[in-house]
Amino acid sequence: MRWLAAIGALSVLPFLTVTLTGTRAHAEPHAPAAPDAPDSRLVRVVIGSDPNASATEATLRDLLEHLNAEPSKRVETTFETTSEIDARAITNPPAQPAPAFARIWLDVRGDVCVVSIADTSWERIYVRRVALSSGFDDVAREQVAHIVGSAVETLLAGGSIGVARQELTKPSPSPSPPAKVTPPKNLPATPPAIVGEDNHSHFAARLGAGYEVLAFSADHVAHGPWISLRGSLVRGPWQFGLVLTGQWRLPISIDQSPIGLRLDDIAFRPMLDLGRETDSRLTLHFGVGLGFDALGIDPRGATVQAGPNGEPAVTVEARRSRIAPILRTSVGLDVRITRGASIEIAGVLDYDPGNRSYFVQEGDRARNLLAPYALRPGIALGLIADLLPQ
């Protein structure tokens, strides 16, 4: 029986040996694979018509530098400058182009920079126009650099950019010929209408109020409020009418010793008016007329002193009035602000044919107190309202 047990033990030994050997074989680790070498990619950049290409190159290098932090995204960049970039060189690649991971063109054209980026196969092209409101300055360079960096990162991630190159080279469709129009037959003979012309006539009445300033003399201006009444015959864009204007002017006071002067003035200006409507809101006016100024002349004296023979040393005349004829011309612009009201601004020119000076007679010598201009330019501003519905 012992020899049978020994034979059984020997028969099991090979199986134990095989099992242990197999277990040892599975316990041995695999040899590690060699790491991938960094994938170097070449990006070619062409800069055209840039007066400071070195600054542009430095900006692009700084922005793309962060890509080299990851070995899988390492890129190499080459730069080329040229005076002009031919667009055909972008859309029509050579038969055997130099290898590149991406090709970039920066074409600076005055107030715009055209950024063109072609992928590795040169089959897709991305085009972006960057407006240069302040020239190709540092801000614009940063903007262009971010556009380039985003496109390169998209290509590194396996994405696509732009459109197919064939789309950029497609010719523009020619316009279709105009359709033939058959002239209508047997139309009644009617006179042609004038577009934009309203040939019916109507009467318009307008009331105005405003303020006027006039150069009266070297040291004084005549100014004050005015009111006006305008009646016009309106035919199409033309207006023919009469304007009556009255103005009260602030007194002109001259305080001198021994005699001064106060001049009161009320002006009346009837004028013939010609108006031309240039559009729905603007009307140009020309006016001419003969009016008058009603003047109140009030000499003012100091204390009267007796002369050596008892006569007064200073003689002050009494207040008197005078009517001065005035010729006026004007050019004005009427700006309608609502349906029934408008603002009017006008340049005026008064001419006093009988211009008089006001002076003090001191013995044989005359001393001027006030010497008005014969020609008196001024400006008037007012608000005009329609009295009759249009």
Tell me the per-residue pLDDT of 69-88, one tens digit each, with 9 for 90 and over.
777 777 888 999 999 898 88
What is the β-pairing status of strands 102-109 and 41-48? Answer: parallel
Q: How many helices and strands, by DSSP H and E, does the chain display?
A: 5, 16
pLDDT for residue 380: 97
DSSP helix/strand/coil, 241: strand
Bridge partners (DSSP) listed for residue 135: 133
Q: Which two tokens stand for residue 270?
A: 């009837």
Q: What is the 3-state secondary structure (H, E, C) of 99-163?
A: CCCEEEEEEEECCEEEEEEECCCCCEEEEEEEECECECCHHHHHHHHHHHHHHHHHHHCCCCCCE
Residue (of 293, 299, 274) closest to 212 by Cα position? 293
Cis amide prior to 171 (ω within 30 degrees): no
Q: Indicate left, alpha or beta for 224 from its phi (over 0: left) and psi (-120 to 50: alpha).
A: left
Supply the DSSP string of 312-326, one letter for each residue. BS---PPPEEEEEEE
Torsion of CA 216, 221, 224, 228, to 10 degrees: 40
**Looking at the DSSP assignment, which residues form a beta bridge with residue 44?**
78, 103
Architecture per CATH, domain 41-167, reads as 3-Layer(aba) Sandwich (3.40)
The pLDDT tens digits for 194-240 are 444 445 788 999 999 999 999 999 999 999 999 999 999 999 899 99
Q: What are the angstrom distances between the C-alpha of 25 and each of 21, 28, 30?
A: 6, 6, 11
Domain 201-304+312-386 fold: Porin (2.40.160)
Question: How far is Cα 116 from Cα 47, in angstroms, rounded to an integer?
Answer: 11
Predicted confidence (pLDDT) at residue 360 exceeds the cutoff of 80:
no
Reply yes or no on whether the pLDDT at 303 is more than 80: no
pTM over 0.85: no
Residues of the chain within CATH 3.40.50.11240 domain(s) are 41-167
Give the per-residue pLDDT at 33: 36
In one letter, which amino acid is 63? L
Q: Where in the chain is the domain with CATH 2.40.160.20?
A: 201-304+312-386
Which of 301-322 are b and which e, b meaning 16 or more Cβ less than 10 Å from the residue's Cβ? eeeeeeeeeeeeeeebeeeeee
Q: Can you give the pLDDT at residue 318?
A: 78
Rounded CA gap, 293 and 304, in Å?
32
Task: Categorize the per-residue pLDDT at 312 as very low, low, confident or very high, splitting at 50, 70 and 90.
Answer: low
Q: Is residue 246 within 8 Å of residue 226, measured between CB atoms?
A: yes
Exposure b/e, 271-286, CB count within 10 A at least 16 = b: bebebebeeeeebebe
Nearest partner of 363 among 306, 293, 297, 315, judged by Cα:
315
Please give the Cα distance from 325 to 290 (Å, whole number).
7
Q: Mean pLDDT across the stretch 338-350?
A: 94
pLDDT at 207: 96
Specify which residues 244 forms β-bridges with: 229, 270
Amino acid at 256: Q
